[in-house]
Structure formats: structure tokens, C-alpha cells
Structure 1
Amino acid sequence: MPKIGGRAARAAERHWRGVVASEGLAAGTVFLLTPQERTADVAATTPHKERRRLKRAMEAARRDIARLIAKTPEPESAHILDIQLRILEDKTLIGPVHAAIAAGASAAQAWNATVAVDDAVDAPADAPYLTARDSDTRDVRDRVARLLLGRRPAVPPLGAILVAEDIGPTRFLEIDWSHGGGLALTGGSRSSHVAMLARAKGVPMLVGLAGGAGLVDGAPALLDAERGELVLDAPAAERAAFERRAIAFSERTGQVALYLPGPAVTAEGERVWVGINVAGPTDLDGLEPSHCDGVGLVRTEFLFQGAGRPPNERRQFEAYERIIQWAAGRPVTFRTLDGGGDKPIAGLSPENEPDPFLGWRGVRLSLRHPAVFRVQLRALLRAAALGPVRVMLPMVTSPDEVAAVRDLLDKVRRDLKTHRIGFGKVALGIMVEVPAAALAIEDFDADFYSIGSNDLIQYTLAVSRGARDLEALARPDHPAVLGLIERVVAHGLKTGCEVGLCGDMGGDPRYLDRLFDLGLRSLSVAPAALARVKAAIARIGRPQP
């Protein structure tokens, strides 16, 4: 965490480098957001009173998060906050806390010792909330801890440049960003929920800020989230140049928004299909269907996480129906359950996996539980009678997996027909996110392919998506990654099979020219990225000044 220093330290070190997580420029004063102490010498009363104290704190936390959901219009924000509500309702989280209280601990002691997240060094492997390096769980943990100890979070002044080691999603959303300001983290990650929220709200943000000693609370600062730099005490000439760049950035942002309503077309008039990625029906609230060509990825995990048991057919069908109706005749691609890895599914994911990212995840997990998988396929086939539906299989590594799913689909169709239940046709595609699938792409009997660039980069370059210190190695434009993408696209062009890309790489304008050169003409991106992606596509083929 940055340390408060004096004027001499400021003069000696005025520039700090970081990684851009959300583009933009902001000028303001530094506000050092130091982590609040979560522990305290709180004497335990009776277990009954301590359980009541914990219950009141958790109920207050739920109310706080519900208020944030009510006043937050962005779908990304509502989805992330909903995840936190589900964390608070998870019985596997609260059970050990009650056990510690029964053993004589106070509510605060039990909560902080049990919900330790990444602060725990020797946490048991069978307690996911103790071992997961998860910002959402940390955020919930810290909120309840503050409520138990009667502490309020510090309120930064309007337009401040917040500097911290890290910050949770609800803490970010509680801050008033309407008057400008920015965020610089010495930790953090470009793929974190806070980074997603910052991009959705247009808040400039840097992560991985190098060093930190010498940063001074209250010092005038310039946050340059284009060049990746935080500057303190800039001289007048530098401030004036920064202000001119900030005005130019604002104008460019306004121009980009003009591309949102129309189709994605290159400078030479070539049409590019651009859809959106969503995590559930709530992500569509406030979005205009005509701004996209369809839904290129629905992450159906939202139905399975935090529920305690797999969702029944009716619940799944109703959720799929809402999305299809919103799309109004545009194609919707539903990814079947992508459980495992960093998204364990209670009752389905095996416990104590030595490496969940290389274990039972994606289609492997679904095929391991055919009864649960059949329910999802039934709901999807029934929903397909309402509009164009495509079914996409995640984490495919073997052609046998695709064949097994086709057999299961045939059985489900026959069963629906026998019982005279209506259903529609679905195209069956695969995600290409494992190098093995890309290298043997011609062996897969799929109706379409969708490149999941996030996992493809992770597995090709052996760099975890959550490794903050290794982000520089996780290059989307690495020759090995581009070579695999090119191989898949070439196969699609040769066979007439559609190839798209639904990972973060497709929403980053820096890589669109290269993807276009490889022959890719179909993208699915976060809703917040639609305008900038269309604007970047419009520049493809335009002579450079």
C-alpha cells in the first residue's frame, strides 16, 4: 500500500507507471484509501447474542447491496451485486462462522477468522470461500466486518484520484463518480469486476501501479489512463497539455457513441457481425436490441450458482425465454453450463480437485452429470421454438464429447416428441478455448465455432487469468495465440462453417485490425464495448494519416 511521504519524496518521484484497466484522463487530488482494520479485541457475550449480532450485520449488508442495485442502472453492476447477495446467502459460508461462535468466539472474531479468503495461508482445501482469491468474497467479508465493528468507510472528496491496494465492487459503486475522478491500484487486475465496472461507468483506472512510496494524500495528481501513468505535482505546462488531451479524449468518446445505433461496417463497406455477451436476462435491462446483431454468448452459469441445487426445467426455460424475446428474432447463442475452474457448482463440481482449471469443467462436468445436462438441453430445445437458438459447448477437447452431446440431444428430442412437447431446431457449436481443439479443429463435427480468447490465451501461454504480476506475458497478440486463431478461421473459411470470437480480445480495438486480417468477421463483446468496437471497425481499411 502506498506510504505517505513528504514534499522531498514527491519532488524526487513524480511519475508512477501502471497498466490501463479503463481508459480516460482525470485530474484531482490524491486520496489514499488505506485498508480498514477488520479485527478488534471484541469480547464475546453469549453464543445466542453473538449469532443475533452476526444476523443483524448480514441483514444490514444485504440491505446496503439491495440499495446499490436499486440505484445502479448498468446491467454489469446489477449482475455483480447479485453475485454478492448470493454469497451472503451461501450456507457453506455461514456454517463455519456459527461453529466458531458456538466455540466461544465473538461474531467479529468468528467472521474474520473464518471468511479469510486470500489472507489465509493454510486454509483447508475443502473450504472454497477460505481459499478463493475472489474480490467479491473479500468485498462481502469487509462490509460485514465493518458492520460488526460499527465502522464506516472513508468518504473520498468529489473528483479525487483514489489510490489503494485494491477495492471491492460495492465500495466502488458507493463512490460518487459523477464529478470525475479516477482510480489507481497498486494491485488489482484488468479482468476484475471493479475494472469491468470502471469501464462501464467511464472511470479512468490503472492497476499494478509500480511502487507507491512517495504518494502523498491530498497531492494534486494527473491520472493518465491512456499512457498508463500517474503524475503528482505536474508543472503548469504539463497540466495544460494534459487538459488539452482530456478535452480531445472527451470529444473522441462522444464521437464513438455515434456508432452505437448503426451496423458494424468497415471503411470499405464490409459488414461485420457484432453481438453481445451476457450473464443473464438482467444484463439486457436498458439495452436496445437493434444496437447488436444478436446475443453471441449467454453464460448460463447464473442459473446454477448459489442455488444449492441445479435449476429445474421450468426455471431455465423461463430465463431463456426472456432473452429470446428480448432479441426479437436475432440469434441467441446459449453456452451450456461452464462450471468448474473458478466457478465451482455446488453438488456438481468435485471437492478437493488438485487443479480445478485442468479438471472437471465445461462440457466435461455436464457429461459427468447427464441427468442434469438433459434438463438443460430440454429447456434449450423448448426455448428454440420461440426464436433462433444456438447451443455452444464450453471447454471442448475431444470430438467424442461433441458426439456424446449430439446423442444426448437426439434422446431429448425423441422424449419431447413422445410427450408431444413443442421444441425447435438448434445449431450445435463449440468454444475453441483449449489449444488441442484449435490444433485438431478439422476433427470436430460442429455447426459453428466460437473462439474463447480468454482461456485460449491462458492455456496457450501458461499464464493464469488472475495472475496480476504476469499480465504482461498474457499477450493476446502473441504469435502462438494468433496462429491458433488463424488455424480455426482458415478451417471455417474452407468448410463454410461460421467462426466467431467471444472473449475480451474482440472488445479491444487494439487487436481488431489483426483479427480482421486473419479473416474473422464475427465478434461478440460486452455491451459496454459495442460502440467503441463499431467505431474501431469503421476505421479498418481507412488510410492512416
Structure 2
Amino acid sequence: MERRLSGLAASTGLAFGPAVMFRAVGEMRREKGPVASERQALADAISASLEAVAALAESLNGEAADIVGFQVALLDDDALTEAAYAAIEGGAAADTAWRQAMVDEIAGYEASDDPYFRARAADIADIRDRVLRQLFDLPELTSAPPGAIILAQDLPPSAFLGIDWSRGGGIVLGAGSPTSHVAMLARGRSVPMVVGIGSEWEAISGTVVVDGVAGLVLTGASHESIERARRQANDLGRLREQAEARKSQPAVTRDGTPIAVMINVADLDDVAGLPPEACDGIGLTRTEFLVEQTLRDEMAQFEAYAGLLRWAAGRPVTIRTLDAGGDKPIAGYTLDGETNPFLGLRGIRLSLRHPDIFRVQLRALARAAAIGPLKIMLPMVTTAQELEQARALLDAVLVDLAAEDMPHAVPALGIMVEVPAAAMAIASFDAAFFSIGSNDLTQYATAAARDGLAVAAYSDVLHPGVLAMISHVARHGAETGREVSLCGDAGGDPHAIEALLRAGIRVVSVSPGLLAIAKDAIRDVDLSVPDEAA
């Protein structure tokens, strides 16, 4: 019998295919053997898991590589396995010992005051289950048939990344969130995804239709429904192909308004295979992954920035200074023990707290600016004083470089607008440009965490209050002749693009994987038509 299940749309698109369950190992138990055998069984399972995750990490880049790299580091750390081996020596079976060790490890992460470590508890659970699946010789999702619809309560990032999505398919989750790591990965790879359908996922079987536009799941689909889904999927596929074919063409609305479409990157790997003429430059470079291990290494930072500028071939490259804190801690740099790190020392607040490290980054940026049009963007700015303090440090760095006869140039200095107070007081900031970080601006303005399923409906960039702030900033930019861009997820969301353009945004920066879709959505907008009639 055909049934429709409602959830939350997490990644647009439409897919249909055979249901494939991804279940946690649950309460499965193995028969206990001699201590030496149990110890060897666990060692083999950990080794096989480490080999699989390390191979996966090598095939990835950017943020995806960082997610899996964390798991590689954990599996390679003897401290993670000590308790499990001790339990085996005490008479426990390998699976029981591993489970208990991971229960304690996960509890430690979940009890942390730092949301970054609380979020990493999911990675520990992923590692736990991956090793258990090896112990019980259970198949991984890499063996799922082409076009399969993956059904699960939640899906670990490493499981998602291990699937060849080029063959089609979709995802349906009982839990999950539209702003989770897996959802962001799905959007970047155009994998239709619906989350939050509850326990209903466990009863789904047969051929499943996933509507990532409407947030609907069709189970027990009739022949007519499957054929209709096939036609719709083919239509969407053709539209995507057409969008890809036009990717290098300018984005211009129907009424002739040109819109600059730039890309968000974490490092040079993110632009592998992408011709620079496909975009209008780099609108956001996240330096957390670039400089985490090179905080005091000016040359290493310079080379990283220079590589991006050379790739851009004369197009502007905006580089965000270190945005540590919140969910991005850096040992020895961020503050431990904050009760709410998202409202604590992060972004520019931390940079100004560590001027010696900030100067290293500013020197590398000013030197790289001699290669091409580099723009410096300060994150989490709240007061005009923070901008002026950063400007004073940059001015001092420029004086030093000139005295050293070091090639450099004066980069434009702008700010991210992601704090509601800054958005409302935008006229007080003497910045060369403004870039709206819609993710955090929406989170702070709606008092709704980005990764919380229970409050996902509140965290909406199309909330009239959020749009009013965006419009206020865009209007100030237009009146003063200063560029205003938007570099959050909303810039690549076809459902949000028209509202953003009507709010005055004329520059967006998106994930490279969403570049073609964003440009096509822009071409469908007619700003000459009144909003009510659009």
C-alpha cells in the first residue's frame, strides 16, 4: 500500500530506488573465546577499520577530509583502545569490551561544555559501530546497489562518503538535521535527502521515492508513482546537465541584473578540476583548515594563499582570518571551558587576544596580495573598535614589510556580518566591504542552533526578521558604494535566492558543487516583476 511520509528537506532533488537499511549493530553479541583470541579479534577489527577510513580520507579533500581525518587520528591512538584491551584481559568478549570503552569515551565527549567536542561524539559512535561491524563481519554501505535509497536513524559522515553517489540514490533518516555534516555533504554532491521522519523509517521497504524538494518520502509506491518519479528525476537530471553546461556563463537575471557568483573553499583541493572562469572569484576562504598546524609559520601560510590567487587568475580572492572557537577549537589557541563557546571568544575576538599569531597571518596575507586582488575578511565582528584594532595591526605589518623591502600590497579590509548587533549598526563600520554570514546570522537572530532537529523550522534565513537585517546591510552597501555579498549556505539554495536578490544582494558565494545550480536559479528570477506577482 502506498504511503506518504513527511519530513524535512535536507538536500534538494528527487530519487527512487531499492531501500537499503543501515542499522546500528545494536545488541548483537559474539561468543567469547580465549583471551588471546578476543584480543586478536579486536586488534584485527580496529586495523581493518583504520585501513578503510585512511583509504577513504586519502580520496577526499577539504572539509570532508577533515571529518574523516579526525576518525583516522582516533583509531591510530593507542589511548582509545587501552580500556577495551584491559577489559578483555579481565574476561570480557571483544565486542563487549569495545562497547563499554566507547560508552565511556562518548559520554566524555557528550559531557563537554564545548559544542565542538559534543558534536564529535557522533564520530566516536561512528568509529564504535565501524569496528563492531568488522567484528561481526557485517557489510558496509559500499556494497549497496546503484541508485539505492539509504534508510537509517542517522548516517555517519564516513558511511556517506564511502558510497559512490555518481550512480544515483538518496537518503532518508529518522533523525538527522538539515544543517548536519551529512546534509551539507549531500547538498554538495546533489544527493536528495529527507530527514526527521521518525521511527517510520524502520518499516520502509521495496522501492522508495525521495522528494528532497518537498521533504516527502513515498513508500510502497505504485507503478504509476514510480513512473512519475522516473520522469521527474529525468527532468531534474536534464536541468542539472543544462545548468552544468552553462556553468561558465555569467549569472544574469531575466531583467538583465548581473549577479556575481563566487565560491567558498577551505583549500586548493576544493577547486581541483574547476576552471576559474566558471566563477567570479573566491568569496570565502576558510583558513581554519589551512593554518591550524601553521599558526606561526608565515611562509607556509603565504604559499597556501598564493596558490589560491594563482588559481583565480586575476579574480578576487577573499580570505577570512582565523575563525577559531565555537565548533572549531584549536589546541593552545582557543579558550577551554567556556559554557557557551558560540557566544564566547571566537573569530576576531580570539585573533585580537593573540596579536602575535594574528600578525603572522596578516603578514602572509599582505605578501600574497602582491600576487593578485586579495581581500581580508574579519569574522564575528561585533563592534567598530574591533575593526579599527585589526586595521591598526595591519597598518603596522605593512610598515614592517616595507622596511624589510618585502614584496607586498595593501589588501582591502572588510568584515563578516553574522552578529545581529553588527547588522543593525552597519553604518558604524568603516569597512571596505561586507559579507553576510547567513548561517550564524540566522542562528543568532532566531535563537535556533544550526544542528538541532527540534528547532530546525525556526532556523530559517527567510524569516522576515533575518531578511530585514540582510536588506538593511545591502541597502547601506548600495548607498555607500561598498560591496555586500552573502557567503552562507543560503547563497546556494535555489529556494532562497530570489528572496536574497530582492533584499538587495548582488554577490553570492557558494560551495563549488552548487555553483551551476545557483547560477541557474538566478537566471530564473525577474526583479522587474513585483514580489507579490513573482
Q: Is the 8 A contact 1:31 1:161 kept in 2?
A: yes
Q: How does 1:177-216 map to 2 (within 5 A)?
A: 177-212=165-200, 215-216=203-204
Q: Give distance in 2, aligned partners of 1:392 and 1:134.
A: 31
Q: Is the 8 A contact 1:65 1:81 kept in 2?
A: no
The aligned amino acid for 2:83 is: A
The aligned amino acid for 1:269 is: G
* Match 2:303 to one of 318, 322, 331: 318
The aligned amino acid for 2:499 is: R
Which residue in 2 is equivalent to 1:497?
A: 482
Q: Is the 8 A contact 2:19 2:150 kept in 1?
A: yes
Q: Give distance in 2, aligned partners of 1:65 and 1:447.
A: 44
Q: Which moved further from structure 2: 339-348 or 131-140?
A: 131-140
Which residue in 1 is equivalent to 2:450?
A: 465
Cα RMSD for the two superposed structures: 3.1
Once the two structures are TM-superposed, the CA of residue 187 in structure 1 deviates from its matched residue by 1.3
Which residue in 2 is equivalent to 1:97?
A: 80
Q: Does 1:427 align with 2:416?
A: no
* Match 2:72 to one of 88, 96, 106: 88
Once the two structures are TM-superposed, the CA of residue 140 in structure 1 deviates from its matched residue by 3.9
Aligned identity (percent) is: 43
Indicate how the Cα distance of structure 1 residues 317 and 459 shifts in structure 2: closer, same or farther if over 3 A, else same.
same
Indicate how the Cα distance of structure 1 residues 239 and 23 shifts in structure 2: closer, same or farther if over 3 A, else same.
same
* Match 2:9 to one of 16, 20, 23: 20
Once the two structures are TM-superposed, the CA of residue 220 in structure 1 deviates from its matched residue by 2.5
Q: Which moved further from structure 2: 445-454 or 417-426?
A: 417-426
Q: How does 1:4-403 map to 2 (within 5 A)?
A: 11=1, 14-37=3-26, 45=35, 60-69=48-57, 79-89=63-73, 94=77, 96-97=79-80, 100=83, 104=87, 112-113=99-100, 115-116=102-103, 120=107, 124-125=111-112, 131-133=118-120, 135-147=122-134, 151-153=138-140, 155-212=143-200, 215-217=203-205, 219-305=206-292, 307=293, 310=295, 312-403=297-388
Q: Is the 8 A contact 2:11 2:191 kept in 1?
A: yes
Q: Give distance in 1, aligned partners of 2:106 and 2:267.
A: 31
Secondary structure at the counterpart of residue 386 of structure 1:
coil
Q: Give distance in 1, aligned partners of 2:109 and 2:164.
A: 38
Secondary structure at the counterpart of residue 28 of structure 1:
strand
Which residue in 1 is equivalent to 2:440?
A: 455
Q: Is the 8 A contact 1:118 1:132 kept in 2?
A: no
The aligned amino acid for 1:391 is: I
Secondary structure at the counterpart of residue 239 of structure 2:
helix
Alignment gaps of 5+ in structure 1 = 1-10
Indicate how the Cα distance of structure 1 residues 173 and 385 shifts in structure 2: closer, same or farther if over 3 A, else same.
same
Q: Is the 8 A contact 2:366 2:409 kept in 1?
A: yes
Q: Give distance in 1, aligned partners of 2:315 and 2:197.
A: 42
Q: Which moved further from structure 2: 335-344 or 191-200?
A: 191-200
Q: TM-score, normalised by structure 1?
A: 0.87
Q: Which moved further from structure 2: 423-432 or 220-229?
A: 220-229
Q: Give distance in 1, aligned partners of 2:114 and 2:68.
A: 18
Indicate how the Cα distance of structure 1 residues 494 and 15 shifts in structure 2: closer, same or farther if over 3 A, else same.
same
Q: Is the 8 A contact 1:62 1:85 kept in 2?
A: no
The aligned amino acid for 1:334 is: I
The aligned amino acid for 2:107 is: A
Q: Is the 8 A contact 2:53 2:72 kept in 1?
A: no
Secondary structure at the counterpart of residue 461 of structure 2:
coil
Q: Is the 8 A contact 2:153 2:201 kept in 1?
A: no
Once the two structures are TM-superposed, the CA of residue 437 in structure 1 deviates from its matched residue by 0.4
Indicate how the Cα distance of structure 1 residues 183 and 122 shifts in structure 2: closer, same or farther if over 3 A, else same.
closer
Once the two structures are TM-superposed, the CA of residue 291 in structure 1 deviates from its matched residue by 0.3
Q: Which moved further from structure 2: 34-43 or 200-209?
A: 34-43
The aligned amino acid for 2:388 is: A
Alignment gaps of 5+ in structure 2 = none
Deviations 1:95-131 (A, max 9, x none): 7525535855668667644555995389553798863
Which residue in 2 is equivalent to 1:537?
A: 522
Q: Is the 8 A contact 1:44 1:104 kept in 2?
A: no
Deviations 1:284-336 (A, max 9, x none): 1111100001000000000344x4x7351122111111111111111100000
